[in-house]
Amino acid sequence: MVEAEEALGGVRDVVAIVGEPASPVNPSASAASQPVVIDAMVGQVNGKPIYASRFLAPLDARLRARRVELRNNAAWQRAAAEIIARQLMDKIRDELFLAEARAELTPEQRAGLFAFLDQVRDTLASTYGGSREEAQERLLAKEGESFEGKVESEKNRALIASIVRRYIIPRVNVSWRDVTRQYERDYGVYNPQAVASIRMIAVDQKDGAGVEAMRTALASGTAFAEAAELPANVFPRGAEGVVGVKFDGEMSGARLFESETLNAQAQRLSLGGTVGPFDHQGRVMWMHLESVTREPGLPLEEVQLKIAEALRAARFQDEADRFLKRLQERASFTSVGEMTERLLVIAVERYLIAERLRP
């Protein structure tokens, strides 16, 4: 589908009647590199048939790549079914958008068809070699698409863009208030919490000798991390003895621990400082603040454009989905599930069974 940016730029108001797309297989391609020809009509959209070969052709490289990556038939079939279903939904969407555009063509727009197509042909000829014959050869070699097939594709893009600009984009509005609200909701994303690294020592209250040894070591100036290695410490030692606590604002007013006792003691800490001894759940404890890490935050002014773009993209998709749902309610098409199953059977024949039988 044409994205919002594409619909807003580079598309003229003149549109054209949708015709049958022409995408012939590149005649110069090696037969050995092409999948075994297994074709069938797998479904329809508003009476327009969907044929397996034409549908699977653009997916060939992806399906082959996934087969090599997964090396498991069941896993490949699941991945292939997902790829096929997504492509089917895109095709149904595009066909319904195109049908809507065709139905809304005015007499003036129909009259501008030939001028529009001539302009597209001239642009393609200039881009791909200077003449239509050269463009035909290069398009077939590079994209596997004929000159007129490319013209048809460009025409369809313009038609879809006209529908998007008329029914979807006018409903995509993002206000400054929307941006500020989103910033507030994602405040933690743009302003990471500070992290306090607190090392703790805990000695069983019944271990009188251990408590006294710890008091003496700390009072004599032994480094806290070194004292934590004494046998009396029942709290994890080394790196595991450091607890990382996230908080907003100042530590003195932050909620650092669920335990009221631990929280009150931690709030008293300053960088490089120690609190204790204090009693907690049958233990004598000490705390030491080893470091506080604060990543710089991003003010609203620096991220407002990024937020606005994300909101606009999300609302564009929501409006496109709503519009498509309305079109689907009055359209006729084979279910995605049925077509996916039929196409998957053919894909298995092409990419699993036929590949193994190839000499």
Mention the CATH class of domain 193-293: alpha beta
Quickly list H helices, 39-146: 52-56, 60-70, 73-103, 107-111, 113-127, 132-143
Whole-number pLDDT of residue 26: 40
Under the banding of pLDDT at 50, 70 and 90, the label for residue 353 is confident
Domain ranges of the chain: 4-175+306-357, 193-293
pTM attached to this predicted model = 0.66
Domains 4-175+306-357 and 193-293 share a fold: no
Q: Rounded to an integer, what is the distance from CA 42 to the centroid of its chain?
A: 30
Whole-number pLDDT of residue 333: 93
Query: What sign has the CA pseudo-torsion 233, 238, 244, 250?
Result: positive
* Candidate ranges 32-46, 110-124, 313-327; pick with highest mean pLDDT: 313-327
Whole-number pLDDT of residue 117: 83
- pLDDT of residue 14 exceeding 70, the answer is no
Q: What percent of the chain is predicted at pLDDT more than 70?
A: 87
Query: What sign has the CA pseudo-torsion 165, 168, 171, 172?
Result: negative
Query: What CATH code would you report for 4-175+306-357?
Result: 1.10.4030
CB neighbour list of residue 16: distance below 8 Å, 6 or more residues apart = 105, 109, 112, 113, 116, 117, 155, 158, 159
Whole-number pLDDT of residue 108: 84
Are 338 and 43 within 8 A, CB to CB?
Answer: yes
- pLDDT of residue 183 exceeding 60, the answer is yes
Q: Which H or E run contains 214?
A: helix 208-219
The interaxial angle of helices 73-103 and 60-70, nearest 10 deg, is 160
Q: What is the mean pLDDT of residues 7-28?
A: 34
Write out pLDDT tens, residues 67-116.
989 888 999 999 999 999 999 999 999 999 999 998 888 888 877 877 88
